[in-house]
Amino acid sequence: MRVAYQGESGAFSEAAVFEHFGPDVEAVPCLSFDDVFAAVEAGSVDSALVPIENSLAGTIHRNYDLLLQHTASVVGEHYLHVHHCLIGHPGVEITDIQKVISHPQALAQCEGYLRSLPGVKVEPVYDTAGSVKIVRDQGDRSVAAIASRRAASLYGMAVLDQNIEDLPNNITRFLAIARQPVYPTGDAKTTLVFSARNQPGSLFKALSVFALRDIDLTKIESRPLVGKTWEYLFYIDFAGSGVEQNVSRALSHLSEYAIMLRVFGSYPRHHYSEE
Amino acid sequence: MRVAYQGESGAFSEAAVFEHFGPDVEAVPCLSFDDVFAAVEAGSVDSALVPIENSLAGTIHRNYDLLLQHTASVVGEHYLHVHHCLIGHPGVEITDIQKVISHPQALAQCEGYLRSLPGVKVEPVYDTAGSVKIVRDQGDRSVAAIASRRAASLYGMAVLDQNIEDLPNNITRFLAIARQPVYPTGDAKTTLVFSARNQPGSLFKALSVFALRDIDLTKIESRPLVGKTWEYLFYIDFAGSGVEQNVSRALSHLSEYAIMLRVFGSYPRHHYSEE
């Protein structure tokens, strides 16, 4: 089984692929999210895993846009705890480090930690896993990277310090996508997007289709449609599967209020463990 | 009047400060959003402007968190159209450019444009305005930066190309904050956060307090409280001011359903113009 992800070997998305699909799948790196969706649609991979929201950085609108532009279905979800490590050459001490490189977002998430290392300079590079490769290839033992534990072992480098992120509970939620939908029974979730006119009460009416059937929402987010000042997109996740009669009734009821409605799919629910 | 913003001179946040407060205020640059809020609370500035959401990148959770951690009120909002320029030394042609530097997010927003420039390398640096300063100081006429038109004029550099962003309608919404709330009448908005238990229908009940009074929501977003699996924060904006009786009744009604409710303030509504 081949599963596409955005990034390079050692990226957090790759770790999510192995956690979700098991250690035996072939993880296929892609340069961009566009490439990930194109690979799924072309059939060059069986599935893909894309980040859809992060507990600190919020929703990744780009991947909702790509879901709308493509016909792929959502077939699963996965929560990944993101832990950053300080990674350097084997045998190096933290006090030897004079410069730290990583993706700007990783540097930002470890800003307080980095400030606690006296005199250390930081320098942004394009990728977390890539920063480990740079440290290895340049051979300068005073330079360290910030990336995942797996990136360290992949490039034969040493973990100098771990869990160096300033805020705990840095969790990224991924969606698994594939060409064919799945029809889960039991503990499931459904992801959809709809648009409604910006009229008082129109969202309330739309949400009534779930409330009247005791269907529990797990995500709701409005997004103004720029260029259409009076229209909104709404992102909704709810507990339940399209195979259940009350869910299919709610969706058909929702279509009465929605200008546009796209159900991306129902899938088995992933309960992440509190660490 | 002194107004704090995050970034350095020539940053898009600084442009928003002058658009919103007028050209005669003193814009005070701060290193981080934490520093911006601290400056407001300490009284070393009269007001501040912080980005709260972007039409492409979504909500900036960090600033909601800082609003919750501080006592400052929201006293205004501002929509800024973000347009990127390719900026180089005066007299240089686009065909002379061999390397383009900027903040990674600006580089990403101009990815398609950059690919259309044959053989041009890109390199991330920490700041859009800062990238113009680097191009000027290094003196290499084959290097260009991506930043605002204002950053070009601030550093005496030339705009080689404009509106080079791949997607139109790149709009950032800012909130103005100050120590004292305002009490607008007329066309106003109110911003609040509340939390509710994750029970079927609890959000629906909460939203009924607005729907029953014909109050129009302009933003709704759920955010799972990590570490508290069964609780959510909800971000709500609605049309109306706390000085109106139906609004104050809705808020008191909402407090019956909310575990936590914090009204950040009411403020005059800003209608951004479609370009």
Domain residue spans in chain A? 2-81+170-178, 85-162, 188-268
Tens of pLDDT, residue by residue over A125-135, are 778 898 999 99
Distance between CA atoms of B73 and B266, rounded to whole angstroms? 9
Contact B61 A57 (CB under 8 A): yes
DSSP strands (E only) in B73-169: 73-81, 85-88, 99-102, 121-124, 143-147, 158-162
Widest Cα–Cα separation across chain A: 65
Determine what percent of chain B is predicted with pLDDT higher than 70: 97
Domain A85-162 top-level CATH class: alpha beta
SS3 percent helix, strand, coil of chain A, rounded to 5, is: 30, 35, 35
Between A and B, how many CB-CB pairs are < 8 A? 97
Tokens of B251: 């808020």
Q: Do β-strands B158-162 and B85-88 pair in parallel, antiparallel, or remain unpaired? A: antiparallel
Contact A217 B222 (CB under 8 A): yes
- Please give the full DSSP string across A227-246, using - where no structure is assigned: T-TTEEEEEEEEES-TTSHH
| Residue from B109, B165, B210, B226 whose CB has the most chain A CBs within 10 Å, to mutate | B226
Domain B2-82+170-178 top-level CATH class: alpha beta
| Residue from B68, B107, B221, B236 whose CB has the most chain A CBs within 10 Å, to mutate | B221
Tokens of B177: 């904050």
pLDDT at B120 over 60: yes
Contact B58 A56 (CB under 8 A): no
Higher pLDDT, A199 or A144: A144
Q: What does the pLDDT read at residue B227?
A: 62
ipTM of the complex in this document: 0.81
Whether A226 and chain B come into contact, CB under 8 Å, resolves to yes
What phi and psi, each to the nearest 5 degrees, are found at residue B97? Answer: -75, 130
Q: Do β-strands A143-147 and A99-102 pair in parallel, antiparallel, or remain unpaired? A: parallel
**Chain A partners of B227 at a C-beta cutoff of 8 Å?**
168-169, 274
* List B33, B128, B172, B234, catalytic entry: B172
- How close, in Å, is residue A43 to chain B by CA atoms? 25
Contact B207 A208 (CB under 8 A): no
Tens of pLDDT, residue by residue over A77-95, are 999 999 999 999 999 999 9
* CB within 8 Å of B122: residues ≥ 6 apart: B99, B100, B101, B102, B107, B114
Report how far apart, in Å, the C-alpha atoms of B35 and of each of B13, B62, B70, B137, B270 are.
14, 13, 12, 28, 26
Contact A214 B229 (CB under 8 A): no
pLDDT at A275 over 70: no
Whether B108 and chain A come into contact, CB under 8 Å, resolves to no
| Residue from B217, B236, B257, B275 whose CB has the most chain A CBs within 10 Å, to mutate | B217
**Chain A partners of B32 at a C-beta cutoff of 8 Å?**
111
Higher pLDDT, A202 or B83: B83
Q: Which amino acid is at A101?
A: I
Sheet with A99-102, side-by-side order of all strands: A121-124, A99-102, A143-147, A85-88, A158-162
Same fold, B2-82+170-178 and B188-268: no
Higher pLDDT, B198 or A166: A166
Domain B188-268 has CATH 3.30.470.20: no
Could you tell me the pLDDT band of residue A71, with boundaries at 50, 70 and 90?
Answer: very high
Tally of residues, chain A: 275
Of B60, B203, B214, the CB nearest to A201: B214
Domain A2-81+170-178 has CATH 3.40.190.10: yes
Q: Which amino acid is at B59?
A: T
Whether A199 and chain B come into contact, CB under 8 Å, resolves to yes
Find tokens 């030394």 and name the residue: B89
Whether B225 and chain A come into contact, CB under 8 Å, resolves to no
Q: Do β-strands B2-6 and A231-239 pair in parallel, antiparallel, or remain unpaired? A: unpaired
Distance between CA atoms of B230 and B222, rounded to whole angstroms? 12
- How close, in Å, is residue A250 to chain B by CA atoms? 14
Whether B253 and chain A come into contact, CB under 8 Å, resolves to no
**Chain B partners of A111 at a C-beta cutoff of 8 Å?**
32
Tens of pLDDT, residue by residue over B201-254, are 788 889 999 999 999 998 999 987 766 655 788 999 999 999 999 999 999 999
Query: Residues A86, A100: contact at Cβ < 8 Å?
Result: yes
Whether A31 and chain B come into contact, CB under 8 Å, resolves to no
pLDDT at A265 over 60: yes
Buried b (16+ CB within 10 A) or exposed e, B50-89: bbbbbbbbbbbbbbbbbbeebebbbbbbbbbbbbbbbbbb
What phi and psi, each to the nearest 5 degrees, are found at residue A85? Answer: -120, 150
A106 Ramachandran zone, left/alpha/beta (phi>0; psi -120 to 50): alpha
Reported as half-sphere exposure (CB side, CA atoms, 13 A), residue B269 has a value of 14
pLDDT at A105 over 80: no
Query: Residues B54, B62: contact at Cβ < 8 Å?
Result: no
Q: What does the pLDDT read at residue A118?
A: 86
Enter the pTM of the model.
0.85
Q: What does the pLDDT read at residue B226?
A: 65
Mean pLDDT of B166-182: 91
Tens of pLDDT, residue by residue over B25-49, are 999 999 889 999 999 999 999 999 9
Q: What does the pLDDT read at residue B169?
A: 79
Mean pLDDT of A155-170: 91
Contact B200 A216 (CB under 8 A): yes
